[in-house]
């Protein structure tokens, strides 16, 4: 068995791992690089492996940094099945076409407004490409091994990160390899806790928060305080939130705050068709989360759903101020949130509230770090609104929670590979695992290969 690290090394995005075993080539995750330009350019470069030679893809979950390259892989010749959980397939049917649509819209806007260096600017892939790729998805149940041929099997266990998220185990009958994907948190208020993994010959584990502990502060309490203070100023709370996972958690906390009378009864708008559809999936995948049927229905109805572009533009007129607007994307890299930012970020009455990790090079990272102007659609916009972040709402385990999950292994893996983190986070987690568990740990390089 050979493993090649084709992404998520030195960065939290672009998750791709090529496993070669039993005469098969299996790609675990197929994500987009995001953030810094030097990373995004990798999306346009040819893969180190010919897509026609890949036998199957297995997804840990639906977030675009794990699934967003699939339409391009299929367009470039991949013909095999794409295995994942049922909820992951349902979410990809929402996320991937939306990604294609946004890329087409961004290219069209760049060409029309002439702020592109490319003549013409082109989308990485189209909405039609994404729809075609969905024909190759094949959902498999948790805990049931799926034969890949030549004695190779894959199985999924719940990882507690978002709906459908999974740990992936690949086994050739002699060697087992487990991928954590994104590791959830045992005490998440919405998602079920991650499954315990007791053994693996080799392990690939994420390190997004490998150098940090989630703060003891109560995210719900801080969210309530920000909404109250912004409402008292007559402003808008603008929340860039990942359409899948974070949005549903934010809605849950707003529901709880309203039920407790801890915030004024101001309107809440969910302005992301993708997030709206993802929120509705909560009702169809009850085994993936903790919410009862009645609470799930209440959370899904706490916000006014904004579907059309005209309805979205109307929010910027401020007719409902004070108000809360939740819109994708969570790192302010694209989508409707950019139009809202242009409108609200220059007014000191407003608050822009981020809800989790901001990758290097994203607008979210620049805003959180205090930049006083930000480029959107080719123009610089002054930042006068309050900018804040809810550190304790992340759906990623921190280093203590990662160590706790690793503690369920009955015997150490022969080697553990640290990926999906900025360099400092990955290095820090490596040292912590070595110090606390005395395991053999490696931080692989981009395109590094290892024989298992």
Domains in the chain with CATH codes: 2-212+395-451 (3.60.15.10), 219-393 (3.40.50.10890)
Q: Which residues contact residue 266 at a Cβ distance below 8 angstroms, ignoring those fewer than 6 apart?
A: 227, 231, 320, 322, 323, 324
Kindly state the average pLDDT of the residues 166-188.
96
Give the separation between CA 359 and CA 13, rounded to whole angstroms. Answer: 8
Kindly state the average pLDDT of the residues 227-252.
93
Mean pLDDT of the chain: 94
Give the pLDDT of residue 171.
Answer: 97
Q: What would the DSSP string read from start to end of 191-260?
A: BPPPPP----SEEEEE-TBTT----SS-HHHHHHHHHHHHHHTT-EEEEE--TTTHHHHHHHHHHHHHHT
Give the pLDDT of residue 114.
Answer: 76
Q: Which residues contact residue 309 at a Cβ distance below 8 angstroms, ignoring those fewer than 6 apart?
A: none
pLDDT tens for each residue of 32-89: 998 888 999 999 999 999 999 999 999 999 999 999 999 999 999 999 999 999 999 9
Given a contact cutoff of 8 angstroms between Cβ atoms, the answer to whether 15 and 69 are in contact is: no
Assess whether pLDDT exceeds 90 at residue 110. Answer: no
Given a contact cutoff of 8 angstroms between Cβ atoms, the answer to whether 401 and 193 are in contact is: no
For 237, counting Cβ atoms within 10 Å of its Cβ (0-12 exposed, 13-18 middle, 19+ buried), the class is buried
Decide which of 423 and 102 is more confident: 423
Give the separation between CA 166 and CA 421, rounded to whole angstroms. Answer: 18
> Omega of the bond prior to 305 within 30 degrees of 0, cis?
no
Give the pLDDT of residue 227.
Answer: 97
pLDDT tens for each residue of 384-439: 999 999 878 888 999 999 999 999 999 999 999 999 999 999 999 999 999 999 99
Q: For the beta carbon of residue 32, count every other beta carbon within 10 angstroms.
A: 25
Give the separation between CA 9 and CA 146, rounded to whole angstroms. Answer: 28
CA distances (Å), origin 78, targets 45, 53, 71, 331: 16, 7, 10, 30
The pair of structure tokens assigned to 219 is: 């995210």
Assess whether pLDDT exceeds 80 at residue 448. Answer: yes
Stretch among 89-93, 193-197, 312-316 having the lowest mean pLDDT? 312-316
Assess whether pLDDT exceeds 90 at residue 119. Answer: no
Kindly state the average pLDDT of the residues 104-128.
86
Give the separation between CA 393 and CA 223, rounded to whole angstroms. Answer: 10
What is the SS3 assignment for 435? Answer: helix
Given a contact cutoff of 8 angstroms between Cβ atoms, the answer to whether 322 and 263 are in contact is: no
Give the pLDDT of residue 318.
Answer: 67
Given a contact cutoff of 8 angstroms between Cβ atoms, the answer to whether 439 and 413 are in contact is: yes
Give the separation between CA 162 and CA 73, rounded to whole angstroms. Answer: 24
Kindly state the average pLDDT of the residues 325-335.
87
pLDDT tens for each residue of 259-310: 999 999 999 999 988 889 888 899 899 999 999 999 999 999 999 999 998 9
Give the pLDDT of residue 362.
Answer: 87
Give the pLDDT of residue 321.
Answer: 85
Give the separation between CA 68 and CA 34, rounded to whole angstroms. Answer: 10
Given a contact cutoff of 8 angstroms between Cβ atoms, the answer to whether 306 and 315 are in contact is: yes
Q: Measuring CA to CA, which residue among 166, 174, 146 is closest to residue 56? A: 146
Give, rounded to a whole angstrom, the gap between the first and last alpha carbons of the chain: 5
pLDDT tens for each residue of 179-204: 999 999 999 999 999 999 999 999 99
Radius of gyration of the chain from Cα atoms? 21
């Amino acid at each position: 068995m050979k493993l090649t690290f084709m992404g998520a090394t030195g960065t939290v995005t672009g998750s791709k791992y090529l496993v070669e075993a039993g005469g098969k080539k299996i790609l675990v995750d197929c994500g987009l690089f995001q953030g810094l330009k030097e990373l995004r350019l990798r999306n346009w470069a040819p893969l180190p492996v010919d897509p026609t030679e890949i036998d199957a893809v297995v997804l840990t979950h639906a977030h675009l940094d794990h699934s967003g390259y699939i339409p391009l892989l299929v367009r470039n010749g991949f013909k095999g099945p794409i295995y994942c959980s049922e909820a992951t397939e349902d979410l990809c049917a929402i996320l991937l076409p939306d990604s294609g649509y946004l890329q087409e819209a961004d290219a069209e806007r760049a060409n029309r407004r002439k702020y592109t260096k490319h003549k013409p600017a082109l989308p990485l892939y189209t909405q039609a490409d994404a729809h075609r790729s969905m024909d190759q998805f094949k959902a498999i149940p948790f805990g049931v091994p799926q034969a890949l041929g030549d004695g190779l099997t894959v199985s999924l266990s719940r990882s507690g990160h978002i709906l459908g998220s999974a740990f992936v185990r690949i086994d050739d009958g002699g060697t087992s390899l487990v991928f954590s994907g994104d590791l959830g948190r045992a005490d998440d208020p919405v998602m079920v806790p991650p499954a315990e993994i007791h053994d693996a010959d080799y392990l690939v584990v994420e390190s997004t928060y490998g150098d940090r502990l989630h703060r003891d502060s109560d995210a719900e309490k801080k969210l309530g305080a920000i909404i109250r203070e912004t409402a008292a100023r007559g402003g808008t709370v603008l929340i860039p939130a990942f359409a899948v996972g974070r949005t549903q958690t934010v809605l849950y906390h707003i529901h709880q705050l309203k039920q407790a009378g801890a915030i004024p009864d101001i309107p809440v708008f969910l302005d992301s068709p993708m997030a709206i559809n993802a929120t509705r999936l909560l009702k169809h995948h009850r085994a993936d989360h903790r919410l009862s049927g009645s609470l799930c229905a209440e959370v899904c109805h706490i916000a006014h759903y904004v579907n059309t572009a005209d309805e979205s533009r109307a929010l910027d007129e401020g007719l409902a101020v004070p108000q809360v607007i939740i819109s994708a994307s969570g790192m302010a890299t694209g989508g409707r949130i950019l139009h809202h930012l242009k409108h609200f970020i220059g007014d000191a009455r407003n608050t822009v509230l981020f809800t989790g990790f901001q990758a290097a090079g994203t607008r979210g990272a620049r805003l959180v770090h205090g930049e006083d102007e930000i480029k959107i659609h080719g123009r610089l916009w002054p930042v006068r609104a309050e900018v804040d972040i809810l550190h304790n709402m992340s759906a990623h385990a921190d280093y203590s929670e990662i160590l706790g999950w690793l503690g369920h292994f009955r015997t150490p893996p022969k080697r553990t590979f640290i990926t999906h983190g900025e360099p400092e986070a990955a290095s820090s987690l490596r040292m912590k695992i070595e110090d606390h568990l005395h395991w053999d740990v490696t931080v692989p390089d981009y395109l590094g290969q290892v024989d298992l």
